[in-house]
Structure 1
Amino acid sequence: MIRTLLKPDNQNISIRLPENFVGKQVEVIAFTVEETQQQELTFDKPVGHFASENVLSKDWLSAEEDEAWQDL
């Protein structure tokens, strides 16, 4: 893996790959450092959609829960 930071002075970027990369599929991703810093800030907030179904099922799969939703 190769990782580097650069500040281009125009819209063209040229990279030189190691010889063992030749003939292999290589992924190139470009984004600004500011974008990654903003994304890191959003991960500091708790997000409920990452809770696993296994954990949530302890509350969902109960006789009390079934009774509460039976009329829907």
Structure 2
Amino acid sequence: MTQVIIKPENQEEIIISTSLSAEEIEKLIKLNELSKAKLETAILSETALKNDWLSPEEDEAWKDL
């Protein structure tokens, strides 16, 4: 059993016991960071792209689909 200590910013630490190996935990952390980065990109892109998507020209182009 592996113990993992997580200390979120400005919060108390959380201690988790798990059967995952240190390598598996590291992979999960990297996957989580990658997911966050992709989500941030999507959120920032949405604001920029909505000007194009929400236009009368765009509505006209897609009306038959």
TM class, shorter-length: 0.3 to 0.5
Larger proportion of helix = 2
Q: Highest CA radius of gyration, 1 or 2? A: 1
TM-score (norm 1): 0.38
Instruction: Write 1 or 2 for the structure with the bigger share of strand.
Output: 2
